[in-house]
Amino acid sequence: MNVSGSTILITGGTGSFGNRVATHLLKQSPAEIRIFSRDEKKQWEMQQAFPQFQYIVGDVREEACLEEAVTGVDLVFHAAALKHVPSCEKYPYEAYKTNVVGSQNVCRASKAAGVKTFVALSTDKAVKPLNAMGTSKAMMEKLVCSQNQNGGDTKFCCVRYGNVMGSRGSVIPLFKRQIENDEPITLTVPEMTRFLMTLDQSVGLVLHAMQHATGGEIFVRKAPASTIGKLAEAVCQKFSPKGIDHPIEVIGIRLGEKLHETLVNEYEMQRITEEELFYAIHPEYHVPDHRAEQPLGTEYTSNNTRQLESAADIKLLLDKMGEVEFYI
């Protein structure tokens, strides 16, 4: 899809992803970029850096306010979500209203407006979900990927990724704040593994989906992983004056957390196509003949992907991550 001359809507556009993808898209000469979110303070802050965007205050839970926002839009990036695991565990109905009902509202409004391509952002926690956030995101994927069964010209697809380094609410900014306050770094379980992806790589995944979607796919970018213990060690080496001697406190696994995350489960692996950097999970109603054959039971997890074993390897990704003050 040619972004030049297109009108783009980003829901949840004041978040980490919205900031970065808007920056990328701006270089491709779109006609207009619209930032839709419910937080006027974050919109004001973002407007200081990007006055050329159009800012729309609204909530995806309210379908009426979306109708005007999508009028004349060619491309929708749906990033609005409640994503903090403990908060969603405490208030699962709120997660449902934003992540499920809100997503359906955006889909319906986008289809009615004749949007060309719709890309929704999902998470590895949607695979075999253990918590309310993951369960709501799994339902969001089903809602989005089902849209192309019902006709219409809009291409609907999802992207699914793991931990985005430096994004708002993620663990690296937390570690940095604890170091700056001379507090111990708090770890859940040192052996816990998580995929590691920079924000630019997550944007690249979304742009890949935008260009390659035919309708109903979930796109996954292959990524390395590390244990939380190794990640904490690398963050201490890079940011703490005490280096690896910075104190660490193990607090135990939190409610709703997994020891390892899965990006593609064993059933989805039977309907994928594969490239060097990406998997495309095709919908059950449109599985291609040229799919990649995978042994039964094969999954793609943070425990069996390429592991970053040394703090030095992780520090290379931390360097690529860049500064995080834009996202905190």
* β-bridge mates for residue 193, sequence order: 227
Q: Report the Cα 319 to chain-centroid distance in Å.
A: 20
- Look up residue 312 and give its two tokens: 């030095």
- As a whole number of Å, the end-to-end CA separation of the chain is 32
Are 95 and 88 within 8 A, CB to CB?
yes
- Look up residue 100 and give its two tokens: 């499920």
- Residue 43 burial (CB count, 10 A): 18
What SS3 string covers 209-238? HHHHCCCCCEEEECCCEEEHHHHHHHHHHH
What span, in angstroms and rounded, lies between the C-alpha atoms of 126 and 104? 17
Q: Report the Cα 118 to chain-centroid distance in Å.
A: 15
Question: Catalytic residues, which ones?
Answer: 125
What span, in angstroms and rounded, lies between the C-alpha atoms of 41 and 277? 37
Are 160 and 219 within 8 A, CB to CB?
yes
Residue type (1 letter), 266 = E
Q: What angle do CA 35, 39, 40 make, to 5 degrees?
A: 80
**DSSP-assigned states of every residue in 99-133:** IIIHHHHHHHHHHHHT-SEEEEEEEGGGSS--SHH
Place of tokens 């939380």: 228
* β-bridge mates for residue 274, sequence order: 279
